[in-house]
Homo-oligomer: A and B are copies of this chain.
Amino acid sequence: MGKILRINAKEKTWEYQELPESLVGLGGRALTSKMVLDEVPADCHPLGCYNKLIFSPGILSGSPAANSGRLSAGAKSPLTNGIKESNSGGFISQKLAKLGIAALVVEDKPEDAGFCMVVINKQGVEILDASDYEGLGNYDLMEKLWAVYGKRTGVMTIGQAGEQCLKAASIHQADPKGRPGRAMGRGGLGAVMGSKKIKAIVVDDSGCDRIPLVDPEGFKAANKKWVKMLRDHPVTGQGLPGLGTAVLVNVINEAGALPTKNFRTGRFEHAADISGEKMVENIQARNGVVAEGCHPGCVIKCSQAYNDKNGEYLTSGFEYETLWAFGAHTTVKDLDQIAMMDRLCDDYGLDTIDTGVALGLAMEGGLIPWGDGDACIDLLKQVPQGTGFGKILGNGAAFTGDALGVDRIPVVKRQALPAYDPRSVKGVGVTYATTPMGADHTAGYGVTANILGVGGSVDPLKNDIQVELSKNLQIATAAIDAAGLCLFVAFAVLDNEEGVPLIVDMINAQYGLSLTPDDVIKLGISILENENEFNLKAGFTKIDDQLPEMFKEKFPPHDTQWTFSVEELQEAKNYNA
Protein backbone atom coordinates (compact mmCIF):
# COMPACT_ATOMS: atom_id res chain seq x y z
CA MET A 1 0.00 0.00 0.00
CA GLY A 2 0.99 3.64 -0.05
CA LYS A 3 2.66 6.02 2.34
CA ILE A 4 1.53 8.71 4.72
CA LEU A 5 2.12 12.27 3.60
CA ARG A 6 2.14 14.60 6.59
CA ILE A 7 1.79 18.35 6.14
CA ASN A 8 2.38 20.65 9.09
CA ALA A 9 0.18 23.69 8.57
CA LYS A 10 2.00 25.74 11.20
CA GLU A 11 5.57 25.04 10.17
CA LYS A 12 4.73 24.76 6.46
CA THR A 13 6.70 21.53 6.25
CA TRP A 14 5.93 18.09 4.84
CA GLU A 15 7.26 14.59 4.97
CA TYR A 16 6.53 11.13 3.69
CA GLN A 17 6.35 8.26 6.16
CA GLU A 18 5.98 4.53 5.72
CA LEU A 19 2.58 3.19 6.67
CA PRO A 20 3.05 1.43 10.03
CA GLU A 21 2.16 -2.22 10.27
CA SER A 22 -1.04 -1.43 12.18
CA LEU A 23 -2.45 0.54 9.25
CA VAL A 24 -1.44 -1.70 6.35
CA GLY A 25 -4.43 -2.92 4.39
CA LEU A 26 -6.63 -0.01 5.39
CA GLY A 27 -7.92 2.73 3.12
CA GLY A 28 -10.72 5.26 2.87
CA ARG A 29 -12.90 5.45 5.95
CA ALA A 30 -11.08 2.52 7.57
CA LEU A 31 -7.84 4.45 7.49
CA THR A 32 -9.14 7.92 8.34
CA SER A 33 -11.15 6.66 11.32
CA LYS A 34 -8.29 4.56 12.66
CA MET A 35 -5.82 7.43 12.35
CA VAL A 36 -8.20 9.93 13.92
CA LEU A 37 -8.70 7.54 16.82
CA ASP A 38 -4.97 6.98 17.20
CA GLU A 39 -3.71 10.50 16.68
CA VAL A 40 -6.38 13.04 17.62
CA PRO A 41 -7.11 13.62 21.33
CA ALA A 42 -10.83 12.95 21.55
CA ASP A 43 -11.45 15.89 23.87
CA CYS A 44 -9.56 18.45 21.78
CA HIS A 45 -11.13 21.51 20.21
CA PRO A 46 -12.03 20.56 16.63
CA LEU A 47 -10.68 23.86 15.33
CA GLY A 48 -7.57 23.80 17.48
CA CYS A 49 -4.02 22.69 16.86
CA TYR A 50 -4.57 19.12 18.09
CA ASN A 51 -7.14 18.14 15.50
CA LYS A 52 -5.93 16.60 12.23
CA LEU A 53 -7.56 16.52 8.83
CA ILE A 54 -6.90 13.21 7.13
CA PHE A 55 -7.68 12.30 3.53
CA SER A 56 -7.48 8.76 2.24
CA PRO A 57 -8.32 7.13 -1.07
CA GLY A 58 -10.25 3.89 -0.83
CA ILE A 59 -8.64 0.47 -1.01
CA LEU A 60 -9.72 0.06 -4.65
CA SER A 61 -9.22 3.72 -5.61
CA GLY A 62 -6.86 4.20 -8.51
CA SER A 63 -7.59 0.74 -9.84
CA PRO A 64 -9.83 0.23 -12.87
CA ALA A 65 -12.68 -0.96 -10.61
CA ALA A 66 -15.87 0.81 -11.62
CA ASN A 67 -17.13 3.46 -9.21
CA SER A 68 -14.08 3.26 -6.96
CA GLY A 69 -13.20 6.96 -7.06
CA ARG A 70 -14.31 8.04 -3.61
CA LEU A 71 -12.06 10.03 -1.31
CA SER A 72 -12.59 9.90 2.45
CA ALA A 73 -11.88 12.83 4.72
CA GLY A 74 -11.71 12.33 8.48
CA ALA A 75 -11.25 14.51 11.57
CA LYS A 76 -12.94 15.42 14.80
CA SER A 77 -16.06 17.21 13.64
CA PRO A 78 -16.74 20.82 14.64
CA LEU A 79 -20.41 20.09 14.04
CA THR A 80 -20.86 16.94 16.12
CA ASN A 81 -17.76 17.10 18.32
CA GLY A 82 -17.38 13.42 17.49
CA ILE A 83 -15.44 11.54 14.86
CA LYS A 84 -16.33 12.28 11.26
CA GLU A 85 -15.79 10.63 7.93
CA SER A 86 -17.22 12.26 4.86
CA ASN A 87 -16.51 11.19 1.29
CA SER A 88 -17.13 12.26 -2.25
CA GLY A 89 -16.26 11.40 -5.81
CA GLY A 90 -13.84 13.42 -7.88
CA PHE A 91 -10.33 13.10 -9.22
CA ILE A 92 -8.33 13.22 -6.04
CA SER A 93 -8.60 9.70 -4.68
CA GLN A 94 -7.36 8.09 -7.88
CA LYS A 95 -4.53 10.58 -8.19
CA LEU A 96 -3.43 10.20 -4.58
CA ALA A 97 -3.42 6.45 -5.07
CA LYS A 98 -1.26 6.78 -8.16
CA LEU A 99 1.13 9.00 -6.22
CA GLY A 100 1.41 6.21 -3.66
CA ILE A 101 -0.32 8.18 -0.92
CA ALA A 102 -2.53 6.15 1.39
CA ALA A 103 -3.18 9.04 3.75
CA LEU A 104 -2.70 12.79 3.47
CA VAL A 105 -2.58 14.25 6.97
CA VAL A 106 -2.83 17.98 7.70
CA GLU A 107 -1.61 18.74 11.21
CA ASP A 108 -1.35 21.68 13.64
CA LYS A 109 -2.47 25.19 12.71
CA PRO A 110 -0.82 28.54 12.18
CA GLU A 111 -1.45 31.19 14.83
CA ASP A 112 -1.89 34.31 12.77
CA ALA A 113 -1.53 33.91 9.08
CA GLY A 114 -3.21 34.15 5.74
CA PHE A 115 -4.30 31.17 3.72
CA CYS A 116 -1.99 28.74 2.01
CA MET A 117 -2.48 26.10 -0.63
CA VAL A 118 -0.82 22.74 -1.09
CA VAL A 119 0.37 21.31 -4.40
CA ILE A 120 1.26 17.63 -4.45
CA ASN A 121 2.98 16.02 -7.40
CA LYS A 122 5.50 13.34 -8.20
CA GLN A 123 8.38 15.64 -7.28
CA GLY A 124 7.09 16.41 -3.82
CA VAL A 125 4.98 19.03 -2.10
CA GLU A 126 4.77 22.80 -2.32
CA ILE A 127 3.06 24.88 0.35
CA LEU A 128 2.29 28.19 -1.28
CA ASP A 129 0.83 31.51 -0.27
CA ALA A 130 -2.83 31.63 -1.31
CA SER A 131 -3.69 35.17 -0.29
CA ASP A 132 -4.79 35.92 -3.85
CA TYR A 133 -7.44 33.26 -3.52
CA GLU A 134 -8.83 34.31 -0.15
CA GLY A 135 -12.50 35.19 -0.22
CA LEU A 136 -13.18 33.30 -3.44
CA GLY A 137 -16.04 30.88 -3.86
CA ASN A 138 -15.37 27.38 -5.08
CA TYR A 139 -16.51 28.04 -8.66
CA ASP A 140 -14.05 30.87 -9.22
CA LEU A 141 -11.33 29.19 -7.27
CA MET A 142 -11.47 25.92 -9.18
CA GLU A 143 -11.46 27.77 -12.47
CA LYS A 144 -8.39 29.73 -11.45
CA LEU A 145 -6.59 26.65 -10.17
CA TRP A 146 -7.21 24.72 -13.36
CA ALA A 147 -6.00 27.74 -15.32
CA VAL A 148 -2.70 27.55 -13.44
CA TYR A 149 -2.27 23.82 -12.88
CA GLY A 150 -4.16 22.36 -15.80
CA LYS A 151 -7.38 20.46 -16.21
CA ARG A 152 -5.77 17.11 -15.52
CA THR A 153 -5.08 17.97 -11.88
CA GLY A 154 -7.39 17.15 -9.04
CA VAL A 155 -8.38 20.14 -6.96
CA MET A 156 -10.07 20.24 -3.59
CA THR A 157 -11.07 23.55 -2.05
CA ILE A 158 -13.03 25.39 0.59
CA GLY A 159 -15.25 28.40 -0.02
CA GLN A 160 -15.99 31.35 2.21
CA ALA A 161 -17.78 29.14 4.73
CA GLY A 162 -14.69 27.05 5.38
CA GLU A 163 -12.55 30.17 5.59
CA GLN A 164 -14.80 31.40 8.40
CA CYS A 165 -14.64 27.97 10.11
CA LEU A 166 -18.41 27.59 10.00
CA LYS A 167 -19.70 24.26 11.26
CA ALA A 168 -21.65 23.40 8.09
CA ALA A 169 -18.66 24.06 5.84
CA SER A 170 -17.83 21.37 3.31
CA ILE A 171 -14.78 20.48 1.24
CA HIS A 172 -15.37 20.36 -2.49
CA GLN A 173 -13.70 18.37 -5.24
CA ALA A 174 -13.77 19.49 -8.82
CA ASP A 175 -15.88 17.22 -10.98
CA PRO A 176 -14.72 16.27 -14.51
CA LYS A 177 -15.82 19.70 -15.73
CA GLY A 178 -14.00 21.55 -12.98
CA ARG A 179 -17.13 22.40 -11.03
CA PRO A 180 -17.57 22.05 -7.27
CA GLY A 181 -20.80 20.05 -7.41
CA ARG A 182 -19.26 17.23 -5.37
CA ALA A 183 -18.75 17.79 -1.67
CA MET A 184 -17.44 16.06 1.37
CA GLY A 185 -20.44 17.77 2.78
CA ARG A 186 -21.31 16.69 6.23
CA GLY A 187 -19.84 17.45 9.62
CA GLY A 188 -18.00 20.67 8.95
CA LEU A 189 -14.71 19.31 7.64
CA GLY A 190 -14.37 22.49 5.57
CA ALA A 191 -14.09 24.36 8.85
CA VAL A 192 -11.24 22.09 9.94
CA MET A 193 -9.45 22.82 6.66
CA GLY A 194 -10.17 26.51 7.21
CA SER A 195 -8.81 26.40 10.75
CA LYS A 196 -5.56 25.06 9.34
CA LYS A 197 -5.58 27.94 6.83
CA ILE A 198 -5.51 25.68 3.78
CA LYS A 199 -7.65 27.13 1.00
CA ALA A 200 -6.91 24.49 -1.65
CA ILE A 201 -5.12 21.24 -2.32
CA VAL A 202 -4.00 20.46 -5.86
CA VAL A 203 -3.02 16.89 -6.74
CA ASP A 204 -1.10 16.30 -9.93
CA ASP A 205 -0.28 12.71 -10.87
CA SER A 206 1.57 13.55 -14.09
CA GLY A 207 4.25 11.01 -14.77
CA CYS A 208 2.91 8.48 -12.32
CA ASP A 209 2.50 4.90 -13.36
CA ARG A 210 -0.76 3.06 -13.26
CA ILE A 211 -1.61 1.28 -10.06
CA PRO A 212 0.02 -2.15 -10.15
CA LEU A 213 -2.32 -5.13 -10.11
CA VAL A 214 -0.91 -8.39 -8.79
CA ASP A 215 -3.40 -10.41 -10.85
CA PRO A 216 -4.45 -8.23 -13.77
CA GLU A 217 -6.47 -10.92 -15.51
CA GLY A 218 -8.37 -11.83 -12.38
CA PHE A 219 -9.05 -8.17 -11.78
CA LYS A 220 -10.30 -7.60 -15.30
CA ALA A 221 -12.65 -10.56 -15.11
CA ALA A 222 -14.12 -9.49 -11.80
CA ASN A 223 -14.49 -5.88 -12.88
CA LYS A 224 -16.31 -6.93 -16.04
CA LYS A 225 -18.91 -8.79 -13.99
CA TRP A 226 -19.02 -5.87 -11.56
CA VAL A 227 -19.82 -3.37 -14.29
CA LYS A 228 -22.49 -5.64 -15.71
CA MET A 229 -24.07 -6.08 -12.31
CA LEU A 230 -24.26 -2.29 -11.81
CA ARG A 231 -25.68 -1.74 -15.27
CA ASP A 232 -28.26 -4.50 -14.91
CA HIS A 233 -29.79 -3.36 -11.63
CA PRO A 234 -32.87 -1.14 -12.06
CA VAL A 235 -31.64 1.47 -9.56
CA THR A 236 -28.01 1.79 -10.63
CA GLY A 237 -28.71 0.99 -14.29
CA GLN A 238 -31.86 2.99 -14.86
CA GLY A 239 -33.21 5.02 -11.91
CA LEU A 240 -30.04 6.90 -11.00
CA PRO A 241 -28.79 7.54 -14.56
CA GLY A 242 -32.29 8.59 -15.58
CA LEU A 243 -33.32 11.00 -12.87
CA GLY A 244 -30.39 11.09 -10.47
CA THR A 245 -31.19 10.68 -6.79
CA ALA A 246 -34.04 13.13 -7.43
CA VAL A 247 -35.98 10.06 -8.52
CA LEU A 248 -36.80 9.75 -4.83
CA VAL A 249 -38.91 12.90 -4.43
CA ASN A 250 -42.06 11.30 -5.77
CA VAL A 251 -41.21 7.89 -4.29
CA ILE A 252 -40.72 9.15 -0.74
CA ASN A 253 -43.63 11.57 -0.98
CA GLU A 254 -45.86 8.72 -2.13
CA ALA A 255 -44.63 6.68 0.85
CA GLY A 256 -45.76 9.53 3.13
CA ALA A 257 -42.23 9.98 4.43
CA LEU A 258 -41.13 13.24 2.81
CA PRO A 259 -40.58 15.51 5.83
CA THR A 260 -42.47 18.69 5.08
CA LYS A 261 -42.43 22.02 6.93
CA ASN A 262 -39.79 20.96 9.43
CA PHE A 263 -41.02 17.38 9.85
CA ARG A 264 -44.69 18.16 10.42
CA THR A 265 -46.14 15.91 7.71
CA GLY A 266 -44.95 13.30 5.22
CA ARG A 267 -46.53 14.64 2.05
CA PHE A 268 -45.67 17.91 0.31
CA GLU A 269 -48.49 19.23 -1.84
CA HIS A 270 -45.99 20.63 -4.32
CA ALA A 271 -43.79 17.50 -4.48
CA ALA A 272 -44.30 17.19 -8.23
CA ASP A 273 -42.83 20.67 -8.72
CA ILE A 274 -39.55 19.67 -7.12
CA SER A 275 -39.40 16.08 -8.38
CA GLY A 276 -36.77 14.33 -10.45
CA GLU A 277 -39.24 14.17 -13.29
CA LYS A 278 -39.63 17.95 -13.23
CA MET A 279 -35.87 18.39 -12.93
CA VAL A 280 -35.22 16.29 -16.03
CA GLU A 281 -37.99 18.08 -17.90
CA ASN A 282 -36.26 21.37 -17.20
CA ILE A 283 -32.83 19.98 -18.02
CA GLN A 284 -34.01 18.69 -21.38
CA ALA A 285 -35.93 21.85 -22.24
CA ARG A 286 -32.89 23.98 -21.39
CA ASN A 287 -30.17 21.90 -23.04
CA GLY A 288 -28.59 20.69 -19.82
CA VAL A 289 -27.09 17.26 -19.20
CA VAL A 290 -29.22 14.54 -17.63
CA ALA A 291 -26.50 12.07 -16.61
CA GLU A 292 -22.88 12.77 -15.71
CA GLY A 293 -20.35 10.93 -13.56
CA CYS A 294 -18.42 12.62 -10.78
CA HIS A 295 -15.21 10.72 -11.45
CA PRO A 296 -13.58 8.63 -14.16
CA GLY A 297 -14.79 5.04 -14.09
CA CYS A 298 -18.30 5.82 -12.90
CA VAL A 299 -20.92 3.74 -14.70
CA ILE A 300 -23.91 5.05 -12.72
CA LYS A 301 -23.71 8.76 -13.62
CA CYS A 302 -26.21 10.15 -11.11
CA SER A 303 -25.05 13.75 -11.57
CA GLN A 304 -26.35 16.22 -14.13
CA ALA A 305 -25.97 19.79 -15.32
CA TYR A 306 -29.02 21.90 -14.57
CA ASN A 307 -29.38 25.13 -16.53
CA ASP A 308 -31.38 28.20 -15.66
CA LYS A 309 -34.28 29.56 -17.69
CA ASN A 310 -31.84 31.19 -20.09
CA GLY A 311 -30.02 27.95 -20.73
CA GLU A 312 -26.99 29.01 -18.69
CA TYR A 313 -25.38 26.44 -16.43
CA LEU A 314 -26.66 26.79 -12.88
CA THR A 315 -25.75 23.74 -10.82
CA SER A 316 -24.83 20.07 -10.78
CA GLY A 317 -24.79 17.24 -8.28
CA PHE A 318 -28.37 18.26 -7.60
CA GLU A 319 -29.36 15.59 -5.07
CA TYR A 320 -32.64 14.39 -3.69
CA GLU A 321 -31.61 15.43 -0.19
CA THR A 322 -30.85 18.94 -1.48
CA LEU A 323 -34.19 19.20 -3.26
CA TRP A 324 -35.84 18.10 -0.06
CA ALA A 325 -33.91 20.37 2.31
CA PHE A 326 -34.45 23.55 0.29
CA GLY A 327 -37.85 22.36 -0.92
CA ALA A 328 -40.27 20.27 1.10
CA HIS A 329 -38.55 21.07 4.38
CA THR A 330 -38.92 24.80 3.86
CA THR A 331 -42.06 24.44 1.65
CA VAL A 332 -40.30 26.31 -1.17
CA LYS A 333 -41.73 24.89 -4.40
CA ASP A 334 -39.74 26.67 -7.12
CA LEU A 335 -37.16 24.32 -8.57
CA ASP A 336 -35.05 27.16 -9.95
CA GLN A 337 -34.84 28.81 -6.55
CA ILE A 338 -33.80 25.48 -5.08
CA ALA A 339 -31.19 25.02 -7.81
CA MET A 340 -29.84 28.47 -7.02
CA MET A 341 -29.53 27.55 -3.34
CA ASP A 342 -27.69 24.38 -4.32
CA ARG A 343 -25.33 26.41 -6.45
CA LEU A 344 -24.70 28.94 -3.70
CA CYS A 345 -23.93 26.16 -1.22
CA ASP A 346 -21.48 24.58 -3.67
CA ASP A 347 -19.90 27.96 -4.22
CA TYR A 348 -19.63 29.03 -0.58
CA GLY A 349 -18.78 25.46 0.48
CA LEU A 350 -21.74 24.53 2.64
CA ASP A 351 -23.46 21.23 3.30
CA THR A 352 -26.83 21.47 1.58
CA ILE A 353 -28.58 19.26 4.12
CA ASP A 354 -27.53 21.16 7.22
CA THR A 355 -27.99 24.49 5.44
CA GLY A 356 -31.42 23.63 4.08
CA VAL A 357 -32.58 22.36 7.44
CA ALA A 358 -31.18 25.56 8.98
CA LEU A 359 -33.27 27.66 6.56
CA GLY A 360 -36.36 25.76 7.70
CA LEU A 361 -35.43 26.52 11.29
CA ALA A 362 -35.03 30.19 10.38
CA MET A 363 -38.68 29.91 9.32
CA GLU A 364 -39.63 28.01 12.46
CA GLY A 365 -37.98 30.77 14.49
CA GLY A 366 -39.83 33.51 12.62
CA LEU A 367 -36.81 35.04 10.90
CA ILE A 368 -38.13 34.48 7.35
CA PRO A 369 -41.54 33.32 6.10
CA TRP A 370 -42.33 29.70 5.30
CA GLY A 371 -41.99 28.89 1.63
CA ASP A 372 -40.19 32.11 0.71
CA GLY A 373 -37.40 31.07 -1.64
CA ASP A 374 -36.19 34.60 -2.26
CA ALA A 375 -35.80 35.16 1.47
CA CYS A 376 -33.79 31.92 1.67
CA ILE A 377 -31.49 33.05 -1.12
CA ASP A 378 -31.01 36.46 0.48
CA LEU A 379 -30.16 34.86 3.80
CA LEU A 380 -27.79 32.40 2.18
CA LYS A 381 -26.00 35.23 0.40
CA GLN A 382 -25.11 36.64 3.82
CA VAL A 383 -22.77 33.72 4.48
CA PRO A 384 -19.81 34.98 2.43
CA GLN A 385 -20.50 38.50 3.72
CA GLY A 386 -19.90 37.31 7.28
CA THR A 387 -22.98 38.99 8.75
CA GLY A 388 -24.40 37.78 12.03
CA PHE A 389 -27.18 35.81 10.41
CA GLY A 390 -24.72 34.57 7.79
CA LYS A 391 -22.56 33.13 10.58
CA ILE A 392 -25.61 31.62 12.25
CA LEU A 393 -26.88 29.93 9.09
CA GLY A 394 -23.43 28.74 8.07
CA ASN A 395 -22.98 27.05 11.41
CA GLY A 396 -25.78 24.68 10.52
CA ALA A 397 -29.18 23.60 11.65
CA ALA A 398 -28.62 22.99 15.36
CA PHE A 399 -26.83 26.31 15.68
CA THR A 400 -29.53 28.20 13.81
CA GLY A 401 -32.28 26.64 15.85
CA ASP A 402 -30.39 27.46 19.03
CA ALA A 403 -29.75 31.03 17.95
CA LEU A 404 -33.45 31.60 17.44
CA GLY A 405 -34.70 29.78 20.53
CA VAL A 406 -36.42 27.03 18.53
CA ASP A 407 -37.26 23.80 20.35
CA ARG A 408 -38.13 21.65 17.30
CA ILE A 409 -34.62 21.02 16.02
CA PRO A 410 -34.24 17.85 13.91
CA VAL A 411 -30.67 16.83 14.65
CA VAL A 412 -28.77 13.90 16.16
CA LYS A 413 -25.35 14.67 17.60
CA ARG A 414 -26.06 18.19 16.32
CA GLN A 415 -26.07 17.05 12.67
CA ALA A 416 -29.28 17.69 10.73
CA LEU A 417 -31.59 14.85 9.79
CA PRO A 418 -31.83 14.22 6.07
CA ALA A 419 -34.79 13.70 3.79
CA TYR A 420 -36.49 10.60 5.18
CA ASP A 421 -38.74 10.91 8.19
CA PRO A 422 -37.56 8.49 10.87
CA ARG A 423 -41.11 7.80 12.03
CA SER A 424 -42.17 6.48 8.64
CA VAL A 425 -38.85 5.02 7.46
CA LYS A 426 -37.86 3.59 10.79
CA GLY A 427 -34.89 1.68 9.43
CA VAL A 428 -33.07 4.85 8.51
CA GLY A 429 -34.26 6.43 11.76
CA VAL A 430 -32.29 3.80 13.69
CA THR A 431 -29.26 4.76 11.62
CA TYR A 432 -29.74 8.47 12.34
CA ALA A 433 -29.79 7.71 16.04
CA THR A 434 -26.98 5.23 16.33
CA THR A 435 -24.34 5.88 13.70
CA PRO A 436 -21.25 7.51 15.20
CA MET A 437 -21.56 10.14 12.46
CA GLY A 438 -24.67 11.98 13.67
CA ALA A 439 -27.87 11.89 11.65
CA ASP A 440 -26.75 10.53 8.29
CA HIS A 441 -28.75 8.56 5.75
CA THR A 442 -25.61 7.36 3.98
CA ALA A 443 -24.32 5.59 7.10
CA GLY A 444 -26.91 2.80 6.86
CA TYR A 445 -29.53 3.46 4.24
CA GLY A 446 -32.56 1.62 5.59
CA VAL A 447 -34.63 3.18 2.82
CA THR A 448 -33.55 0.16 0.75
CA ALA A 449 -35.61 -2.56 2.40
CA ASN A 450 -38.08 -0.09 3.95
CA ILE A 451 -39.21 1.63 0.77
CA LEU A 452 -37.35 0.49 -2.33
CA GLY A 453 -37.68 -3.25 -1.92
CA VAL A 454 -33.93 -3.59 -2.31
CA GLY A 455 -32.17 -6.17 -0.17
CA GLY A 456 -35.46 -7.52 1.15
CA SER A 457 -38.60 -5.89 2.44
CA VAL A 458 -39.20 -4.50 5.94
CA ASP A 459 -42.36 -2.56 6.88
CA PRO A 460 -41.15 1.05 7.23
CA LEU A 461 -43.84 1.96 9.74
CA LYS A 462 -43.11 -0.77 12.29
CA ASN A 463 -40.23 -1.16 14.72
CA ASP A 464 -39.72 -4.86 13.91
CA ILE A 465 -36.37 -5.84 12.41
CA GLN A 466 -35.29 -2.20 11.90
CA VAL A 467 -32.47 -2.34 14.45
CA GLU A 468 -30.96 -5.40 12.81
CA LEU A 469 -31.49 -3.92 9.34
CA SER A 470 -29.74 -0.69 10.28
CA LYS A 471 -26.88 -2.48 12.01
CA ASN A 472 -26.14 -4.69 9.04
CA LEU A 473 -26.32 -1.75 6.66
CA GLN A 474 -24.01 0.31 8.88
CA ILE A 475 -21.44 -2.48 8.80
CA ALA A 476 -21.70 -2.96 5.03
CA THR A 477 -21.55 0.78 4.43
CA ALA A 478 -18.41 1.20 6.47
CA ALA A 479 -16.74 -1.50 4.37
CA ILE A 480 -17.88 0.11 1.11
CA ASP A 481 -16.56 3.47 2.32
CA ALA A 482 -13.24 1.79 3.06
CA ALA A 483 -13.08 0.28 -0.41
CA GLY A 484 -13.52 3.71 -1.97
CA LEU A 485 -16.64 2.54 -3.75
CA CYS A 486 -19.58 4.80 -4.36
CA LEU A 487 -22.30 3.91 -1.88
CA PHE A 488 -24.78 3.54 -4.70
CA VAL A 489 -23.18 0.23 -5.66
CA ALA A 490 -24.98 -1.09 -2.59
CA PHE A 491 -28.30 -1.15 -4.43
CA ALA A 492 -26.92 -3.77 -6.77
CA VAL A 493 -24.84 -5.55 -4.14
CA LEU A 494 -27.78 -5.98 -1.76
CA ASP A 495 -29.83 -7.64 -4.46
CA ASN A 496 -27.08 -9.86 -5.81
CA GLU A 497 -25.27 -12.64 -4.04
CA GLU A 498 -22.26 -12.12 -6.26
CA GLY A 499 -21.86 -8.51 -5.23
CA VAL A 500 -19.69 -8.77 -2.14
CA PRO A 501 -17.59 -11.64 -3.54
CA LEU A 502 -16.85 -9.53 -6.62
CA ILE A 503 -15.58 -6.67 -4.45
CA VAL A 504 -13.43 -9.15 -2.56
CA ASP A 505 -12.18 -10.63 -5.82
CA MET A 506 -11.06 -7.22 -7.05
CA ILE A 507 -9.25 -6.40 -3.80
CA ASN A 508 -7.58 -9.81 -3.83
CA ALA A 509 -6.53 -9.43 -7.47
CA GLN A 510 -5.15 -5.94 -6.88
CA TYR A 511 -3.09 -6.77 -3.81
CA GLY A 512 -2.50 -10.50 -4.15
CA LEU A 513 -4.55 -11.31 -1.08
CA SER A 514 -6.99 -14.06 -0.27
CA LEU A 515 -9.63 -12.23 1.68
CA THR A 516 -13.11 -13.65 2.08
CA PRO A 517 -16.45 -11.85 2.32
CA ASP A 518 -16.26 -12.40 6.08
CA ASP A 519 -13.12 -10.29 6.18
CA VAL A 520 -15.06 -7.44 4.62
CA ILE A 521 -17.70 -7.68 7.33
CA LYS A 522 -14.96 -7.71 9.97
CA LEU A 523 -13.45 -4.62 8.41
CA GLY A 524 -16.80 -2.84 8.56
CA ILE A 525 -17.24 -3.78 12.20
CA SER A 526 -13.73 -2.66 13.12
CA ILE A 527 -14.37 0.75 11.54
CA LEU A 528 -17.53 1.25 13.57
CA GLU A 529 -15.80 0.07 16.72
CA ASN A 530 -12.99 2.56 16.20
CA GLU A 531 -15.43 5.37 15.61
CA ASN A 532 -17.48 4.54 18.68
CA GLU A 533 -14.33 4.32 20.77
CA PHE A 534 -13.40 7.84 19.72
CA ASN A 535 -16.86 9.15 20.52
CA LEU A 536 -16.80 7.46 23.91
CA LYS A 537 -13.52 9.20 24.68
CA ALA A 538 -15.04 12.46 23.45
CA GLY A 539 -17.78 12.12 26.06
CA PHE A 540 -20.65 10.64 24.06
CA THR A 541 -23.13 8.34 25.78
CA LYS A 542 -26.22 6.40 24.81
CA ILE A 543 -28.16 9.61 25.45
CA ASP A 544 -26.52 10.98 22.32
CA ASP A 545 -27.89 8.01 20.36
CA GLN A 546 -31.45 9.33 20.50
CA LEU A 547 -33.74 11.32 18.28
CA PRO A 548 -34.90 14.66 19.68
CA GLU A 549 -38.23 14.91 21.46
CA MET A 550 -40.01 16.44 18.45
CA PHE A 551 -40.28 12.93 16.99
CA LYS A 552 -42.72 12.02 19.73
CA GLU A 553 -45.24 14.05 17.71
CA LYS A 554 -47.58 12.03 15.48
CA PHE A 555 -46.53 12.20 11.84
CA PRO A 556 -49.20 12.27 9.10
CA PRO A 557 -50.31 10.63 6.90
CA HIS A 558 -49.49 7.42 8.79
CA ASP A 559 -49.63 9.01 12.25
CA THR A 560 -46.45 7.24 13.17
CA GLN A 561 -44.32 8.10 16.21
CA TRP A 562 -40.76 7.37 17.28
CA THR A 563 -40.97 4.83 20.08
CA PHE A 564 -37.62 3.02 20.28
CA SER A 565 -36.22 2.85 23.80
CA VAL A 566 -32.65 3.80 24.65
CA GLU A 567 -31.84 0.15 25.20
CA GLU A 568 -33.40 -1.08 21.96
CA LEU A 569 -31.34 1.41 20.01
CA GLN A 570 -28.11 0.36 21.70
CA GLU A 571 -28.60 -3.07 20.12
CA ALA A 572 -27.78 -1.43 16.78
CA LYS A 573 -24.25 -0.97 18.11
CA ASN A 574 -23.89 -4.58 19.22
CA TYR A 575 -22.07 -5.29 15.97
CA ASN A 576 -20.82 -8.77 16.72
CA ALA A 577 -24.19 -10.16 17.81
Interface set of A (CB-CB < 8 Å, partner B): 41-45, 47-50, 164-167, 191, 194-195, 382, 387-392, 395, 399, 402-407, 409, 537-544, 546, 548-550
Contacts and interface: CB of A to CB of B under 8 A. Distances in A.
B407 A48 contact: yes
A362 to B, nearest CB: 11
A11 to B, nearest CB: 18
Contact of A407 (B45, B390, B542): B45
A199 to B, nearest CB: 15
A12 to B, nearest CB: 19
Chain B CB within 10 A, most for which of A50, A543, A544: A543
A121 B448 CA distance: 61
Contact of A191 (B49, B405, B538): B405
Contact of A403 (B195, B391, B550): B391
A543 B541 CA distance: 11
Given A388-B392, A392-B392, A539 B549 contact: no
A280 B549 CA distance: 51
8 contacts: A44-B549, A164-B404, A166-B405, A392-B392, A539-B541, A539-B542, A539-B544, A541-B541
Contacts of A191: 405
Nearest to A49: B407
B543 A43 contact: yes
A395 B388 contact: no
Given A43-B543, A43-B546, 8 more contacts: A45-B550, A47-B406, A194-B405, A387-B388, A388-B388, A389-B391, A391-B404, A539-B542
Given A388-B388, A390-B388, A543-B537, A549 B50 contact: yes
A392 B400 CA distance: 10
A503 to B, nearest CB: 37
Interface of A is mostly: loop
A81 B49 CA distance: 27
A405 B539 contact: no
Nearest to A541: B539
B407 A403 contact: no
A166 B365 CA distance: 12
Contacts of A540: 539
Q: Which 5 pairs of residues, A with B, have the shortest CB-CB distance?
A: A388-B388, A165-B405, A539-B543, A388-B389, A48-B407
Contacts of A165: 404-405
A520 B387 CA distance: 52
Nearest to A43: B543
A83 to B, nearest CB: 14
Contact of A405 (B195, B388, B548): B195
A403 B78 CA distance: 11
A387 B389 CA distance: 8
Contacts of A549: 41, 43-45, 48, 50
Contacts of A548: 45
A9 B39 CA distance: 50
A382 B389 CA distance: 13
Nearest to A545: B539
B409 A403 contact: no
Contacts of A387: 388-389
Contact of A391 (B166, B392, B541): B392
A561 B50 CA distance: 17
Contact of A409 (B45, B194, B395, B542): B45
Contacts of A395: 402-403
A388 B391 CA distance: 8
A389 B385 CA distance: 13
A32 to B, nearest CB: 21
Given A541-B541, A549-B50, A195 B392 contact: no
A164 B405 contact: yes
Contacts of A195: 405, 407
Nearest to A539: B543
A543 B43 CA distance: 7
A274 B244 CA distance: 64
Contacts of A404: 164-165, 391
Contacts of A392: 388, 391-392, 403
Contacts of A546: 43
A402 B405 contact: no
